Every structure is written in C-alpha cells, then in structure tokens.
C-alpha cells in the first residue's frame, strides 16, 4: 500500500496517493515508508511555517531528496542565507548536473556578499545552460556588485531581450553604462526605464534617474562619454 501511494506521489497524483495511504490499516500507516509518503504529501514549497516544517520533516526522512533540499534553499535564501547555501550545496551534491540547484547556491552566495565565488559558479552554469534566466539575473547582480560594469552590461542586455517588460533592468543597464562613462547609452537606457517604470514599485529608481538626468544631458552636450569609434565617424 505504501509503495503504491509513493508511486502516486511520484506521478503527482496526490489525491490517489492520499486515498491509498488513508486506506492502510493503522499498523501499516505507522511504518517508515508510510511516514515518508505522508511527509511528501504534506510538503509544499510555500513560504509558510507549516509548509516549511513539512519540507524539513521530509528532508529529515529523506536526506538525499534533492528537490526538497532545494525547496528549503529557496525558502531560506533571504532570511537565512547560510542555511540556504548548505541546502543548495546538498541538493547539488545529489544532482550535480541540475542548473537550478547550482544557480540557487550562487544566489545564496550573493545574499552572503560572496560575489566573486557566486560569479564563478554562475559562469559554469551558463556554459552548460546558456539560456538559464535566473543564472543570467544572478550573474548580472554579482558582476554589478563587483563593479565589473562592462560585463554586467552584456548580462543586462540579455535580460532585457528575454524580459523587455521588466523596467528595472533598463535602470540597471543605464547605471552600468553610466559607471563606465558611456553617457549616451546610459541616457537611452534611463529614458526607456522612465517610460516603462511603475511609480509604486520603482519610485526610488525613478527619483535617482530624475536627479541624474540634467547633469547627464549636460555632459553629453559637452561631448563627454562618447565612445571613441563614434567620435571618429
């Protein structure tokens, strides 16, 4: 019975799994197999105390359950990044080819401000999974934090092509251009950001751009921040 219920869990037929489990005699429901199945049924990757407790119980019963380990890594990434890092590390050890687990590990490193290590991990991820969106966004964050703005620009350009509706990407792209003195490119990105930004979610960035734009336009008018090849045309 527990084996059949576990099979239904793996097939994501949760109602069938619970029905089979509930039909077991009391003694069978108390076995380790039945307990693992019930923990798997109760475990949901949701940011609530109950869901987290259920996933932690499942990890206790199945310490090499990579998806449960990664779930805890995700739930704890911002609140307890050191624990998140450990859960993602364990998930990656179980399934080292999983780009999501490696990216989660790097995201936890970023939360811990271990940016150079995160960038190294993400470079490896992107070599094998070049279209992994979360890897690109985290790589951009790491590069920006490391002040490697030229490389961050390429990442933000990739993200803007993948998700052009995300206004904040254009703010970060503009800021990166601004940091390396590419002022016309910064202005274009800032203006795109302002055209797409939402006052409720992007007010801080909007204020920063509006404060920067007058002096940026004056710099451009003086011919500053123009790429050499453009000047020579």
pLDDT for 53: 82
- Residue in the block written with tokens 């002022």: 183
| H helical segments located in 146-202 | 149-162, 167-179, 183-196
Predicted confidence at residue 55, as pLDDT, reads: 81
What pTM, to 2 d.p., does this model score?
A: 0.79
Contact 57, 38 (CB under 8 A): no
Query: Which secondary-structure segment (H or E) carries 66?
Result: helix 66-76
Q: What does the CA dihedral 110, 111, 112, 114 come to, rounded to 10 degrees?
A: 10
pLDDT for 124 equals: 97
10-residue averages of pLDDT along the chain (233 residues) = 38 43 43 50 66 82 86 90 95 94 97 98 97 97 98 98 95 98 97 94 96 97 74 39
Cα(214)–Cα(199) distance, rounded to whole angstroms? 20
């Amino acid at each position: 019975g527990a084996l059949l219920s576990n099979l239904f869990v793996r097939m994501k037929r949760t109602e069938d799994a619970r029905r089979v489990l509930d039909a077991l005699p009391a003694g069978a429901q108390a076995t380790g197999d039945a307990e693992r199945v019930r923990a798997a049924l109760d475990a949901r990757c949701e940011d609530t105390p109950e869901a987290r407790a259920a996933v932690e119980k499942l990890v206790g019963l199945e310490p090499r359950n990579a998806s449960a380990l990664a779930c805890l890594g995700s739930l704890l990434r911002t609140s307890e990044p050191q624990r998140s890092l450990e859960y993602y590390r364990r998930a990656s050890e179980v399934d080292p080819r999983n780009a999501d687990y490696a990216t989660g590990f790097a995201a936890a490193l970023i939360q811990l401000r271990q940016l150079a290590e995160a960038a190294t991990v993400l470079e490896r991820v992107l070599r094998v999974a070049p279209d992994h969106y979360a890897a690109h966004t985290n790589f951009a964050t790491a590069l920006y934090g490391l002040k490697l703005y030229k490389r961050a620009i390429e990442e933000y350009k990739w993200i803007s092509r993948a998700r052009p509706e995300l206004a904040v990407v254009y703010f970060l792209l503009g800021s990166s251009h601004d940091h390396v003195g590419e002022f016309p490119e910064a202005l274009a990105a800032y203006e795109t950001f302002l055209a797409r930004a939402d006052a409720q979610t992007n007010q801080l960035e909007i204020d920063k751009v509006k404060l920067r734009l007058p002096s940026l336009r004056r710099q451009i008018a003086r011919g500053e921040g123009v790429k050499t090849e453009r000047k020579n045309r």
